[in-house]
Amino acid sequence: MKLVLLACLAAVAVAAPQGDERPVVEIIKDERSDSGDGNFNYAFEADNGISMSVSGTPGAEGQSNMQGVYSFILPDGTIAEIRFIANENGFQPESPLLPTPHPLPAHAIEQIRFAEEQRAAGITFE
């Protein structure tokens, strides 16, 4: 029994990860500026293709309004780029890679048009 337990412990010790095997990513660009009045800019780029550039200004409601772009390399080798605005209306990304809602079917559009006509004519349902 002791031999089996010793063999199991030895197998676990051999199978344990040895050292830190995470890939090392170097930052090849790191630029930052802060004017002290709420306006700022920063940009960075890593050697693995990840990059980001952002500029910000103070918002009317105390928030930071930002706009920028970030990009990274997809598994097929193409570059994904997402442009965004973040302000009092939230985070608003734009990219052809982002999913979009399916268009409404023709019968649904007709029902919406018909309901709008009824509302305009003063017809209501309770």
The tens digit of pLDDT for each residue in 65-115 reads 999 999 999 999 999 999 999 999 899 999 998 888 888 999 999 999 999
Could you state, in order of their start, the residue ranges of all structural domains in the chain? 26-115
The pLDDT tens digits for 26-45 are 999 999 999 889 999 999 99
Gap between the Cα atoms of 62 and 50, Å rounded: 30
